[in-house]
Amino acid sequence: MADMKPGSGSKDGHATKLIELRDAFASVAIAPEVGGSLSWFRWTAGDKVIDWLRPADATALVARDPAGMACFPLVPFSNRVRGGRFEFEGQSVQLPATKQDPHFEHGHGWRQPWTLVSCEASSATLRYRHEPDQWPWRYEARQEISLSGGTLEVRLSLLNLAQTPMPFGFGFHPFFPADGAPRIETEVAAMWEVDAEVLPVRLLRRVDRGQPINVAGSNLDNVFSGWSRRAHLVWPDRRLEIEADAPLDFLVIYTPAGESYFCAEPVSNATDAFNFSPEQWDETGHRVLEAGEGCSATVRFTPHAIVQAS
């Protein structure tokens, strides 16, 4: 069985429980109560520890703050919905937007505790079930998390339990260490230009598909479409490969200036996809699950042997 570890406490006096999975090379910690998040993904060799994701610190664990974790799931959409409002099949939907969260960023999954369904030494399954509220559809999300040969694999599934069609999107929000001037090597076809509220206004198709992105020299918070579903994150002494399944055809790149982390997020939809016209759905990844229909996709994070800087 996997290890059950107490966290560093919480603001309500109850320790945040971490579930630690291990294989011969790696370990990953899961915090089901904190939005089904991962707390770390690391390799340990002797006294050397390599954190492939930015590990959660004690403050994030105490506060149960998913934004301070290593990775959290995005359901039932990625990123923002303008004003938390959209129309779908003649129905007006107003999500619980606030002054601090005016576009109801990233949906429900990261805000709610997940249930541990099963757990073995190197694998676990989590479930989140949403009952209708301002989001008028019932649905279930699952994460199947596993380690094999040092690779972290996460499969995310979404099932429409409502009696009517439901718009949807999903994906992952991993955080990576920004030490050592890392770069992102990937191929994309276009980038969404954004306004001051980080909402898309124009699709820029003239993107150099193979040009590496130097994290320290950029200040991005953009969705890239036509993603190859492959990326390499390269540090001077290590390399991490990201592989994603369809329909995770979009990549959000967030490189905030002066921070100790950056994000490369495999997702199925462009920001605010629900508010684009049906004629633009192919460009935005707007998708619909019929009643009883499901969709799933897997992301694999594969570390590579330490490489010597040339």
Chain mean position to CA 43: 21
Query: What are the structural domain ranges in the chain?
Result: 3-304
pLDDT at 270: 97
Amino acid at 62: V
pLDDT above 80: residue 230 = yes
- Under the banding of pLDDT at 50, 70 and 90, the label for residue 307 is low
Distance CA 44, CA 168 (A): 38
Q: Which fold has domain 3-304?
A: Beta-galactosidase; Chain A, domain 5 (2.70.98)
pTM of the model: 0.93
Q: Mind listing the pLDDT tens digit for each residue in 63-110?
A: 999 999 999 999 999 999 999 999 999 999 999 999 999 999 999 999
pLDDT at 281: 85
Distance CA 41, CA 300 (A): 12
pLDDT at 309: 47
> What is the 3 state secondary structure string of 222-252?
EEEECCCCEEEEEECCEEEEEEECCCCCEEE
pLDDT above 70: residue 13 = no
CA angle centred on 148, ends 147 and 152, rounded to 5°: 45
Average pLDDT, the chain: 93
Give the Å distances, CA to CA, from 37 to 140, 161, 168, 184. 16, 23, 20, 23
Would strands 123-130 and 238-244 be described as parallel, antiparallel, or unpaired?
A: unpaired
Would strands 200-204 and 190-194 be described as parallel, antiparallel, or unpaired?
A: antiparallel
| Mean pLDDT score, 239-258 | 97
Q: Tell me how crowded residue 296 is: count the other CB atoms within 10 A of its CB.
A: 15
Q: Mind listing the pLDDT tens digit for each residue in 132-178?
A: 999 999 999 999 999 999 999 999 999 999 999 999 999 999 999 99
Q: Mind listing the pLDDT tens digit for each residue in 271-286?
A: 999 999 988 888 999 9
Q: Give 273-282 contacts, CB < 8 A, sequence gap 24+.
A: 273/77, 273/169, 274/77, 274/81, 274/86, 274/88, 274/167, 275/81, 275/82, 275/85, 275/86
pLDDT at 266: 98
Q: Tell me how crowded residue 215 is: count the other CB atoms within 10 A of its CB.
A: 28
Q: Mind listing the pLDDT tens digit for each residue in 19-40?
A: 999 999 999 999 999 999 999 9
pLDDT above 70: residue 207 = no
Whether residue 82 contacts residue 101, with contact meaning beta carbons closer than 8 Å, is answered with: no
- Under the banding of pLDDT at 50, 70 and 90, the label for residue 205 is confident
pLDDT at 45: 76
pLDDT above 50: residue 310 = no
| Residue 59: its H or E element | helix 58-63
